Amino acid sequence: MAQWIMSYVPQAGTFGYYLLRGTLTFLVVVIVARGITWVIRRTVLSQQKLIRRNLSERRRQTLRVLVSSLMNGLAVLATLLLVLAMFVQPGALFTALGLFSAGLGFGARPYVSDFFGGIVLLFEDQFALGDKVEIGDRQVIGQVERVTLRTTYIRGESGELWIVPNGDVRTIRNFSRGTWSPANIKVTMPTIKLDETLIVLREIIASPGDDVLEAPEIISEDGEIGAVTTTITLKVKAKYGTAPVVRRRLLAQLQTALTEHHVLAEEPIQRE
């Protein structure tokens, strides 16, 4: 059996021999990398340990994707080194690697920066899959769909797909981790009805609802009282993600109360 198998193995020193050896080396390295990834997931990234660290499901999923991407990159690098070792002496190989690293540092600096940016995402919980973010340096706004060691895929608000190199991720605005949402409302009324309007507003904000975090404020943004009409703003801090519901409820209450007092101007109540 062994002799039959050896009969199909190319002779040492031929192209087929090195091709077969390189292929087998790659397969072995991939299997080892997959095994290491599996061990990391079962130990460091296990469901129980991540839950004890108070990590969200999105963050846990992001970590798993980044670790898989990192191990795949290391597998490819290790395969290249092992294949080169078949043709080059160790001393010459280390010298060549030193020169290659120096050239890579200058010529492929943006790509190296992208990979280091991906490694940083492993240790810093800046955003996770499913979060709505804005990359400030690129003015990209959308939902994070995929994260790899080099790039981050963001689905824009108009449906377009942004592919952002991790090296360009400097300033991040994470909408999914806010503590409150603005539900401000602007009201335009006849100036002669200003006192009556303020009384109505105070009655409504006395009990704004459990989803409002603080007592709403009544302010004038421009600080002016018009000759015919005046616009004032009702500043409302709602629980995060509940602003549309709070705004609709307050608009309905204001519309009903102000109509009953006949103080609405021709311009309707506005929302911000």
Mean pLDDT score across all residues of the chain: 76
Report the CATH number that the domain containing residue 267 is assigned in CATH.
Answer: 3.30.70.100
Domain edge (last residue) among 91, 107, 123: 107
From 119, 154, 176, give the residue that closes a domain: 176
- pLDDT tens-digit profile of 239-260? 888 888 999 998 888 888 888 8
Residue where one domain finishes, among candidates 121, 154, 176: 176
Of the chain, the percentage scoring pLDDT greater than 90 comes to 7
What domain count does the chain have?
3
Same domain as 92, residue 41: yes
- Considering only residues 173 and 263, tell me which one the structure prediction assigns the higher pLDDT: 173
Q: DSSP for 79-117?
A: HHHHHHHHHS-HHHHHHHHHHHHHHHHHHTHHHHHHHHH
CA gap 76, 26 in Å, rounded: 8
Residue 122 falls within a domain, yes or no?
A: no
Task: Report if residue 241 sits inside a domain.
Answer: yes
- Its domain, for residue 71, covers 7-107
Residue 127 lies in a domain: no
For the stretch 213-236, what's the b/e string if a residue is b when 16 or more beta carbons lie within 10 angstroms of its beta carbon?
Answer: eeebeeeeeeeeeeeebbbbbbbb
Task: Specify whether 143 is located in the same domain as 184.
Answer: no
Q: Are residues 97 and 21 in the same domain?
A: yes
**47-100 pLDDT tens trace:** 545 545 566 667 777 777 777 777 777 777 777 666 666 666 666 656 666 656
79 and 39: one domain?
Answer: yes
Residue 35 lies in a domain: yes
